[in-house]
Amino acid sequence: MPWKQLLFGLLLAVLALGVWLLTSVLELGPANALVAVVGGVILGLTRDRSPLARYGAFLIGLVLGLFVLIFGMAGWIGWLIGILILTVISALTKGRLPLWAMILGGGTLAAIYTPALMANPWFLLTEYPTAFFVALAASSGGFLVTILVELLEDKEEKREEIRAEHRAENDSTQPPVPVSAAAVPPTAAGNTPNAGSTGAQQ
C-alpha cells in the first residue's frame, strides 16, 4: 500500500535525523550510529519468532557485543569464541531466542563502538555505556517504527478479508433471478403459429 511506504519513510527519516543529532553531540560518529537504525529495521522486518523474542535476543547480542569486541582484538579466534557463546545461548533456549538476532545485536554494537575502541581503548569503561545507550535507542526506534507499520498493514489486510467474506456471503444468500418470458428467443415463440398456418393451408 502506498500509505505504508510513505509513513514508513517519514518515521525513519525523523528517527535518523534524531540519531544523527544525538551522536553528533556525543561525538560517537553519526554514520556508524545510523547502522543501529538499520539493525532495528531488519529486526522488525524479519518475521522469525515473536517480536519480543527477536528483541530479547537482540538485547543479549548488544550486551555481549562488548565481550565479542574484546575477544576480537585477539584475532579471529576471539570472534569465533563470541559466536560460539551466542550459539550456546540460542541452543539452551531451544531456538526461542534466534541466533541471527543475537549476532545482529553484537554486530550493531561492534559497528558503532569499534572506531572509538580502536582510537581510545583505555577509555573502554567510560565510553562503552554511552555507545551502548545510543545503539539501544537507535535500534529500538527502528524496530518499533517497523513493527508499528507492520501492525497497521496487517490490521488493514484483515479488514479487507472481512469485507471480502461479507461480500461473498451476500452474493450467496441472494435468490436466483427468475427467467422471464421476455428472455425467450423470439424465433422460438414464432415457430408455432407458422406451423399452424402451414397445416391449415394444406
Q: Pick 192 or 5 by higher pLDDT.
A: 5
Q: Are 15 and 120 in contact (CB under 8 A)?
A: no
pTM exceeds 0.75: no
pLDDT of residue 58: 93
Mean pLDDT of the chain: 75
Q: What is the domain partition of the chain in residue ranges? A: 48-169
Among residues 58, 14, 41, 1, the alpha carbon closest in space to that of 148 is found at 41
Average pLDDT of span 38-52: 85
- What confidence category does residue 47 fall into, taking pLDDT thresholds of 50, 70 and 90? confident
pLDDT tens profile 90-126:
899 888 899 999 999 988 888 877 777 777 777 777 7
**Rg of the chain, C-alpha, whole Å:** 33
- What confidence category does residue 199 fall into, taking pLDDT thresholds of 50, 70 and 90? very low
